[in-house]
Amino acid sequence: MAAHPVSPLAPAKFPALPAMPGVRFATGCTGMRYKGRDDLMLVELAPGSTVAAVTTRSSMCSPPVLWCRQHAKRGRIRAIVGNAGNANTFTGRDGDRAVQRTAAATARLLGCKKEEVFIASTGVIGVKLPVEMIEASLPQLARGLEADRWETAARAIMTTDTFPKAARRTARIGGAEVSIAGFCKGSGMIAPDMATMHCYVLTDAKLPATVLRTLLKAASDKSFNAMTVDGDTSTSDVVLLCATAQAKHARIGAAGDRILADFRAKLDEVMVELAQLVAKDGEGAQKFITINVSGAATRDAARRIGLAIGNSPLVKTAIAAADANWGRVVMAVGKCGEKADRDRLVIKFGGVTIAAKGEQVPGYDETPVARHLAGREVVIDVDVGVGKGAATVWTCDLTHGYIDINGSYRS
């Protein structure tokens, strides 16, 4: 793979992430695909850690995804093994065996059950995973586990990503302060070949797996499920929410407990920030686009309208060219199958109302809109005039860079 220039939308630096009680990291280089960089990550979680998972809905999902989905039901986790460069997808029975062997080797090294080892692979589809290269690397990783290695871990799982992605908040649970920190990789929603999305959100709070599941589903709907680069869903997407139970706070019985209000809000913030980072590193991205939809029949309808706009190649190419082509937003609203009232539709670019009452507003001046579109961050507001459903969706523009990255030969 050719290296791509760092996205102009990347944050200035990786955030400061202090050590989290109960979490240690190690990374290494198997050499299976990349030269001169780490491509294998091990995260160890303290005994008693709990987990919830959200995975791709693809009917072609990979053996690692099936493994995570199955064992997330137990709700117990002791380790995450992630590798970059090979997705171990569509690899037949050898793919399942590779997962089994990776889990078994990790369990032996860490003294846990293999069902407590979660596995995520990202990279090319259809090429057998050289699992022996992972097995050979794992002992050294297990010996080198350290607490303060977030950035190294976030870098080891990158594929076409141009920068490592992480976010952190502290939250109060009653009188106690806990930490929520996450990192992810993904250069879109998105590509099965070198751009799957993996995300790990960790907290030192003590939360039952049932609570984690509810929190993760709600946060995913507001974050990763409201973000798109190209509408191509990976076979390998996995988001894990893990709690190490090291913090001391009141016992939590249900996700809806009032004592969890701040935690819920901060978890949403972490996951939204991570989702935005993925859109900002979308393949070829030059502009970050926020689409606020209101007036829809329901919140889900609003999100589907937002995704129709965010996935439209015509909207995305227009924005790449800083063209205030609002007619394409009309088109995208029209095509998506959700209720919308043409004569109540309101479209704003950069806060400037362009279209309302079924036509371009009288005296519309494109100058401030053109200035807004010339920037790196574009905001589109759409009210479809039929109800109270609202949602926000994030995406990036569609540029020559996307064609270059995805039209380059695999080898």
Kindly list the catalytic residues: 196
Shortest reach from residue 385's CB to a copy of itself, in Å:
11
* Contacting a copy of itself within 163-192 (CB under 8 A): 191-192
> Can residue 339 be called a binding residue for a copy of itself (CB under 8 A)?
yes
Residues with Cβ < 8 Å from 232, sequence gap 6 or more? 188, 189, 190, 191, 192
Q: Do residues 78 and 45 make contact, with C-beta atoms less than 8 angstroms apart? A: yes
> Can residue 65 be called a binding residue for a copy of itself (CB under 8 A)?
no
Shortest reach from residue 98's CB to a copy of itself, in Å:
12
Member of 1, 104, 259, 331 binding a copy of itself (CB under 8 A): 331
> Can residue 340 be called a binding residue for a copy of itself (CB under 8 A)?
yes
Shortest reach from residue 146's CB to a copy of itself, in Å:
35
Biggest distance spanned by C-alpha atoms of the chain = 72
Shortest reach from residue 86's CB to a copy of itself, in Å:
11
Member of 73, 108, 248, 335 binding a copy of itself (CB under 8 A): 335
Shortest reach from residue 7's CB to a copy of itself, in Å:
17
> Can residue 387 be called a binding residue for a copy of itself (CB under 8 A)?
no
Member of 11, 130, 144, 327 binding a copy of itself (CB under 8 A): 327
Member of 231, 257, 290, 297 binding a copy of itself (CB under 8 A): 231
Member of 29, 314, 346, 379 binding a copy of itself (CB under 8 A): 314
Member of 117, 124, 173, 197 binding a copy of itself (CB under 8 A): 124
> Can residue 293 be called a binding residue for a copy of itself (CB under 8 A)?
no
Shortest reach from residue 137's CB to a copy of itself, in Å:
24
Give strand pairing partners of 125: none
What is the gyration radius of the CA atoms in the chain, in angstroms? 22
> Can residue 120 be called a binding residue for a copy of itself (CB under 8 A)?
no
Member of 8, 18, 21, 334 binding a copy of itself (CB under 8 A): 334
> Can residue 8 be called a binding residue for a copy of itself (CB under 8 A)?
no
Query: β-pairing, 176-185 with 346-349?
Result: unpaired
Full 3-state SS string of the chain: CCCCCCCCCCCCCCCCCCCCCCEEEEEECCCCCCCCCCCEEEEEECCCCEEEEEECCCCCCCHHHHHHHHHHCCCECCEEEEEEEECCCCCHHHHHHHHHHHHHHHHHHHCCCHHHEEEEEEEECCCCCCHHHHHHHHHHHHHCCECCCHHHHHHHCCCCCCCCEEEEEEEEECCEEEEEEEEEECCCCCCCCCCCCEEEEEECCCCCHHHHHHHHHHHHHHCHHHECCCCCCCCCCEEEEEECCCCCCCCCCCCCCHHHHHHHHHHHHHHHHHHHHHHHCCCCCCCEEEEEEEEECCHHHHHHHHHHHHHCHHHHHHHHCCCCCCHHHHHHHHHCCCCCCCCCCEEEECCEEEEECCEECCCCCCHHHHHHHCCCEEEEEEECCCCCEEEEEEEECCCHHHHHHHHCCCC
> Can residue 399 be called a binding residue for a copy of itself (CB under 8 A)?
yes
> Can residue 332 be called a binding residue for a copy of itself (CB under 8 A)?
yes
Member of 37, 74, 248, 357 binding a copy of itself (CB under 8 A): 357
> Can residue 127 be called a binding residue for a copy of itself (CB under 8 A)?
yes
Choose one: 36-44, 158-166, 173-181, 332-340; the region binding a copy of itself (CB under 8 A).
332-340
Nearer to a copy of itself, 167 or 340 (CB): 340
Nearer to a copy of itself, 97 or 113 (CB): 97
Return residues touching a copy of itself (CB under 8 A).
56-61, 87, 89-95, 124-128, 191-193, 230-235, 311-314, 317-318, 320-321, 323, 325-328, 330-335, 337-340, 342, 345, 355, 357-360, 398-400, 402-403, 406-410
